[in-house]
């Protein structure tokens, strides 16, 4: 039993008979009236106070299925087992096309093509997707740039990236500077003691550094290139009050100074501006320098031993 109807854009508690055939909803679905003034008809009123009856169709193969036709419609169930709520959401032909989709919002999953098992919540979310599977978008125009891909997750209004990508997660709108707070990380020891450091690239991608030989080529010794480390100036400083209200003293290098000595240690932002020092590279350079100094010490000690073994002149 359908127990709700739409009037003036709102849901009212009018009881409607079970739908058994194509027709207009009234007290009897088999003898529905086409008059907009008939009791319990499903109607739409435009800005000019004009009223038009809305047509409802049923799916004879997979029940339940309801579609309110026109530019504003609702599709529930059907042979594709999909749910579409909102103006022009989902495929243009009810009861056909991709399967297992859920779309809520005007023009959400508008051009789904062969995409299936997707979830989009928000105006124009995933509205350009033509093929793929298991994509998730939450927020207005989230994932709106994706044309082809599978397994992507977009969270936040305007969150998105490339037109062709798969198994990618993007959170937030990249054009607006944001801060991110995630609880349950700091102060929590991992359950397995094999953790690695996470880094972030200038394009916003998170990842780790791969050290295995299978990921590398052109492997050579560093040589004396690490000697330039001795020209760098270690400093103590405080961040600007806008960045650190506690004004805690800390230690580090000045990126602009490092850029003059070892530009390969500098990380730039997406606009090409100097941003920070690649501190994760310092340990291996320091190790190389320590080994070089140790070799010099060993050589000096060998010379000392040789001198000690020489007979003394009388």
Is 104 within the bounds of a domain?
A: yes
Residue 102 lies in a domain: yes
Rounded Cα distance, 84 and 104, in Å: 6
Let me know if residue 264 belongs to a domain: yes
Neighbouring residues of 227: CB distance < 8 A, sequence distance ≥ 6: 289, 292
Count of domains forming the chain: 3
Are residue 141 and residue 238 in the same domain, yes or no? Answer: no
Taking the C-alpha atoms of residue 189 and residue 99, their distance in angstroms, rounded to an integer, is 42
Residue 207 in domain: no
Domain stop point among 40, 58, 76: 58
Same domain membership, residue 146 and residue 64: yes
Are residue 43 and residue 100 in the same domain, yes or no?
no
Q: Among 146, 168, 188, which residue terminates a domain?
A: 188
- Please check whether residues 39 and 51 belong to one and the same domain: yes
pLDDT digits (tens, 9 = 90+) for 4-50: 444 444 334 344 444 444 444 433 333 444 454 454 445 555 556 55
| 249 and 146 together in one domain | no
Domain boundary among 58, 74, 94: 58
Q: Say if strands 199-200 and 206-207 run parallel, antiparallel, or are unpaired.
A: antiparallel
Rounded to whole angstroms, how far apart are CA atoms 289 and 225?
Answer: 9
Residue 198 within a domain: no
Same domain, 106 and 167: yes
Q: pLDDT tens digits for 217-245?
A: 999 999 999 999 999 999 999 999 999 99
Residues 115 and 42 placed together within one structural domain of the fold: no
User: Which domain range does residue 249 map to?
Assistant: 222-314
In order of 105, 227, 302, the CA distances from 295 in angstroms are 69, 14, 11
Please check whether residues 241 and 296 belong to one and the same domain: yes
Round to whole Å and give the CA distance between 158 and 140: 6
Per-residue pLDDT of the chain (314 residues; tens, 9 = 90+): 333 444 444 334 344 444 444 444 433 333 444 454 454 445 555 556 555 555 444 444 434 445 554 444 566 655 567 888 888 887 755 445 678 889 999 999 886 577 889 999 999 999 999 889 999 999 999 999 999 999 999 999 999 988 999 999 999 998 887 788 999 988 888 899 898 999 998 888 999 999 999 999 999 999 999 999 999 999 999 999 999 999 999 999 999 999 999 999 999 988 899 999 999 999 999 999 999 999 999 999 999 999 888 877 76
Does the residue 202 lie in any domain? no
Does 137 share its domain with 71? yes
Same domain membership, residue 93 and residue 155 = yes
- Domain contains 167: yes
Same domain, 98 and 146: yes
Q: Nearest-CA neighbor of 143 among 194, 177, 103?
A: 103
Domain check: are 85 and 129 in the same one? yes
Tell whether 195 is covered by a domain: no
Q: What is the pTM of this model?
A: 0.69
């Amino acid at each position: 039993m359908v127990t709700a109807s739409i009037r003036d854009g709102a849901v009212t508690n009018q009881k409607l008979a079970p739908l058994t055939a194509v027709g207009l909803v009234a007290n009897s679905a088999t003898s529905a009236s086409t008059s907009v003034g008939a009791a319990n008809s499903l109607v739409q009123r435009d800005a000019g106070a004009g009223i038009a009856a809305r047509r409802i169709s049923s799916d004879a193969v997979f029940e339940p299925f309801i579609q309110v036709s026109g530019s504003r419609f609702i599709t529930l169930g059907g042979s594709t087992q999909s749910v579409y709520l909102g103006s022009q959401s989902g495929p243009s032909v009810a009861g056909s096309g991709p399967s297992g989709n859920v779309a809520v919002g005007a023009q959400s999953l508008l051009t789904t093509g062969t995409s299936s098992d997707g979830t989009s919540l928000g105006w124009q979310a995933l509205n350009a997707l033509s093929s793929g599977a298991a994509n998730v978008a939450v927020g207005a125009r989230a994932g709106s740039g994706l044309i082809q891909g599978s397994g992507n997750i977009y969270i936040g209004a305007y969150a998105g990236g490339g037109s062709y990508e798969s198994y990618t997660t993007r959170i937030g709108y990249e054009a607006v500077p944001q801060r991110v707070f995630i609880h349950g990380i700091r102060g929590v020891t991992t359950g397995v003691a094999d953790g690695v450091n996470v880094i972030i690239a200038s394009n916003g991608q998170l990842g780790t550094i791969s050290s295995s030989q299978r990921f590398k080529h052109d492997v050579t010794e560093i040589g004396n290139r690490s000697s330039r480390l001795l020209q760098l100036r270690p400093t103590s400083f405080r961040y600007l009050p806008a960045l650190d209200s506690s004004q805690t003293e800390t230690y580090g290098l000045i990126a602009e100074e490092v850029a003059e000595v070892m530009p390969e240690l500098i990380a730039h932002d997406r606009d090409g501006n100097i941003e920070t020092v690649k501190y994760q590279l310092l340990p291996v350079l320091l190790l190389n320098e320590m080994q070089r100094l140790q070799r010099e010490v060993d050589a000096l000690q060998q010379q000392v031993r040789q001198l000690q073994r020489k007979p003394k002149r009388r």
